[in-house]
């Protein structure tokens, strides 16, 4: 019994110490305007998504599932003759870099994405990799299949992004293979550049627009119809990674209006919810 008490006490102390450390590392909630904001669906949604992304075994399993499938597709394609060298195109954020710490810190401040604070985060180059991603991309490299990183991070993020990729050990972490946003978030022109010289066998992303321009700026209903029409591409040419925290699905619901306040977004979300 004494051993149990001591063990329980030690456990409690560890928990309290952990709590103290974790609370200390969070920024002060200086910009939360009202209690209402703390109960805001969009901001709390970011936090809930981050809790899942950072803790759920199910999240990890989905990542492994996607990367295992992608590896199967590489092996299949290596057996088929190609006139051009093979390549992979991948998105970065929430496709293999985990930015949930950024979402948590922003939500703690009562804020959603903001270009300036986003740059502060990317400049650190400290995002962790999605489970299975590093092994997969290095497997591709071992088979002489290069990866092109097509991301809507912009040029201000280049140094931090390359540092992040290099520190984690991702292949092709150089300027030639990192195609960032310059004038448009539409990735089609950058995909076309790669396609001039390569046979792109897999597209990887967490957002439909990472795969094809057909998904760009479509309404929520159109996006879902297109996904249904193209269902056979998913798990084949298109490999989708999990991201419930943000994406064009959210923008589509909001009519691609990026000026909405969190409270206004809530109204849209509530209109698009089904109960029973
Ligand atoms: Mg992404």
Residue appearing with tokens 């967490």? 206
Domain range for 122: 40-271
Q: 90 CA to middle of ligand 1, Å?
A: 9
Spans of the chain below 50 pLDDT: 1-35
Q: 49 CA to middle of ligand 1, Å?
A: 15
Q: 123 CA to middle of ligand 1, Å?
A: 17
Give, in order, the Cα–Cα distances in Å from 65 to each of 169, 209, 213, 234, 275.
21, 21, 25, 12, 30
Quote the pLDDT of residue 37: 52
Domain CATH code at residue 136: 3.40.50.1000
Structural domain includes residue 15:
no
What is the distance of C-alpha 240 from the center of its chain? Answer: 10
Structural domain includes residue 121:
yes
Give, in order, the Cα–Cα distances in Å from 129 to each of 60, 70, 72, 165, 169.
11, 16, 20, 9, 10
Structural domain includes residue 22:
no
Distance CA 121, CA 59 (A): 23
Q: 75 CA to middle of ligand 1, Å?
A: 25
Q: 30 CA to middle of ligand 1, Å?
A: 29
Structural domain includes residue 33:
no
How many domains, in total, are found in the chain?
Answer: 1
Structural domain includes residue 31:
no
Q: 11 CA to middle of ligand 1, Å?
A: 38
Structural domain includes residue 255:
yes
Structural domain includes residue 2:
no
Q: 63 CA to middle of ligand 1, Å?
A: 14
Structural domain includes residue 11:
no
Quote the pLDDT of residue 19: 38
* Each residue's pLDDT tens digit, 75-94: 999 999 999 999 999 999 99
Residue 78 structure tokens: 């290596």
Quote the pLDDT of residue 110: 83
Q: 5 CA to middle of ligand 1, Å?
A: 47
């Amino acid at each position: 019994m004494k051993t149990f008490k001591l063990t329980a006490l030690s456990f409690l102390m560890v928990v309290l110490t952990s709590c103290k450390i974790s609370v200390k590392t969070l920024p002060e909630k200086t910009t939360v305007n009202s209690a209402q904001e703390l109960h805001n669906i969009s901001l709390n949604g970011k936090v809930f998504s981050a809790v899942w992304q950072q803790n759920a075994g199910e999240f990890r399993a989905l990542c492994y599932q996607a990367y295992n499938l992608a590896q199967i597709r590489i092996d299949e394609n290596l057996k088929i003759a190609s006139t051009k060298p093979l390549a992979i195109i991948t998105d970065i954020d929430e496709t293999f870099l985990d930015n949930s710490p950024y979402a948590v810190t922003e939500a703690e401040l009562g804020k959603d994405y903001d270009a300036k604070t986003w740059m502060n985060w990317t400049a650190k180059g400290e995002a962790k990799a999605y489970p299975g991603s590093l092994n997969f991309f290095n497997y591709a490299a071992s088979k002489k299949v290069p990866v092109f990183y097509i991301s809507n991070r912009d040029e201000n993020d280049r140094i931090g992004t390359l540092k992040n990729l290099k520190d984690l050990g991702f292949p092709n972490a150089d300027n030639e293979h990192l195609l960032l946003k310059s004038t448009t978030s539409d990735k089609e022109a950058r995909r076309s550049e790669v396609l001039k010289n390569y046979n792109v066998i897999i597209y990887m992303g967490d957002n439909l627009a990472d795969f094809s321009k057909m998904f760009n700026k479509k309404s929520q209903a159109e996006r879902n119809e297109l996904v249904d029409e193209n269902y056979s591409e998913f798990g084949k040419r298109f490999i989708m990674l999990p991201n419930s925290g943000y994406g064009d699905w959210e923008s589509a619901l909001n009519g691609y209006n990026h000026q909405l306040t969190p409270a206004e977004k809530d109204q849209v979300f509530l209109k698009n919810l089904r109960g029973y």
